[in-house]
Homo-oligomer: A and B are copies of this chain.
Amino acid sequence: MKIKNRITDLFKIEYPIIQAGMVWVSGYKLATAVSNCGGLGLIGSGSMKPELLREHIQKAKSKTTKPFGVNIPLLRGDAEELIKVVIEEKVKIVFTSAGHPGKYIDILKRNDIKVVHVVPSVKYAKKAEEVGCDAIVGEGYEAGGHNGFDEITTFCLIPALVESVKIPVIAAGGIATGAQIAAAFALGAEGVQIGTRFAATTESSAHENYKQKIVEAQDNGTIIGFRKIGLVRMLKNNFALRAIEAENSCADEKKLREIWGEKRERLGIFEGDIEEGALEAGQSAGLIKNILPVEEVFQRLIIEFDQTIKKMSSLI
């Protein structure tokens, strides 16, 4: 993999492979392991209070001299405080998701921060470009966790984004192998963001039980639940199937919020309750066969990518 493009330039990284910010999964350990391999690691602030985020950033700085970033879900009530921490700690890359970046873009750009927004459709991609984002992540329906209402899949979303905006597009949703990275580039992406594959690594801070459930999942191992209150893709378990059953029996929004309850992600991903927690994961779980150190995942991705490109070169 010898790629020098707008994404490697933007982040000053060796490989255009980005590890997604994931709640309870991507602390400084995972993020720095990815950055040290030449990719871009992201600390996922979704499960952190501002002071814990500060701690993770400081630890990350002690573990790597390479670039890393922070993912901030903008719907968080304290998003502004998280952004304040990022600025104070001089992190220069921020990925925003779940909300509109327009509100914070000025302060981020004034502090010389590269801003990338995660979008599920062309409409939001254009908005992100308009307000001045440096790049977008196009996240397909196969992605784990919170998901877009339009259900546009990676295979159709990426080409649509590439023809609609001028800023570079990073493909996300369903990517766990080097062959899939090659496919994403064929679709016009200039980088990939990978979640679930990195969640099932040694350095991921998730519970061992959760990692093991990813490894055991088959192609049909995930399901989308809670359509009425915001789609969530998760591994099938008692909790997920109970939610689906309630939806099929026409549970209203209030009932669904009750079923979701509180701290479901923490319960499943961090505490390892594999039946009652929300085990957010992408459809790529079906392609993940083992828990590996980040370095080995990274090497495999690059070898598979190279093999795929070599094989494809003979097709014309």
**Which A residues have a C-beta under 8 Å from some C-beta of B?**
1-3, 121-123, 140-142, 150-157, 159-160, 173-175, 177, 179-180, 182-188, 218-220, 224, 228, 248-250, 282-284, 286-287, 305-306, 308-310, 312-313, 315-316
Instruction: Report the minimum CB–CB distance from A219 to chain B (whole Å).
Output: 4
Contacts of A219 in B (CB 8 A): 121-122, 150, 152, 156-157, 160
Give the docked Cα–Cα distance between A62 and B10 (Å).
58
Question: Which residue of chain B is the closest to A187 with respect to CB atoms?
Answer: B183
Cβ–Cβ contact B312 & A186, under 8 A: yes
Give the docked Cα–Cα distance between A224 and B140 (Å).
16
- Among A155, A160, A180, A287, chain B packs the most CB atoms within 10 A around the CB of A155
Cβ–Cβ contact A155 & B179, under 8 A: no
Cβ–Cβ contact B182 & A155, under 8 A: no
Known contacts A219-B156, A220-B121, A283-B152, A316 near B310 by CB under 8 Å: yes
Give the docked Cα–Cα distance between A287 and B220 (Å).
27
Instruction: Report the minimum CB–CB distance from A292 to chain B (whole Å).
Output: 17
28 contacting pairs across A/B (C-beta < 8 A): A1-B315, A2-B315, A140-B153, A141-B141, A141-B151, A141-B153, A142-B156, A152-B219, A152-B220, A152-B286, A153-B153, A153-B155, A155-B173, A156-B283, A156-B286, A159-B180, A159-B287, A179-B186, A179-B188, A182-B186, A183-B184, A183-B186, A186-B186, A186-B308, A249-B250, A305-B316, A306-B316, A312-B313
Instruction: Report the minimum CB–CB distance from A228 to chain B (whole Å).
Output: 8
Contacts of A312 in B (CB 8 A): 182, 185-186, 309, 312-313
Cβ–Cβ contact A284 & B156, under 8 A: yes
Contacts of A174 in B (CB 8 A): 153, 155-156
Residue in B2, B123, B153 whose beta carbon sits within 8 Å of that of A283 in the complex: B153
Cβ–Cβ contact B182 & A122, under 8 A: no
Contacts of A188 in B (CB 8 A): 179
- Among A150, A173, A183, A185, chain B packs the most CB atoms within 10 A around the CB of A183
Give the docked Cα–Cα distance between A313 and B79 (Å).
42
Give the docked Cα–Cα distance between A1 and B316 (Å).
5
Cβ–Cβ contact A160 & B316, under 8 A: no
Known contacts A186-B179, A186-B182, A219-B121, A151 near B224 by CB under 8 Å: yes
Contacts of A173 in B (CB 8 A): 155
- Among A180, A228, A305, chain B packs the most CB atoms within 10 A around the CB of A180
Cβ–Cβ contact A153 & B142, under 8 A: yes
Give the docked Cα–Cα distance between A155 and B151 (Å).
14
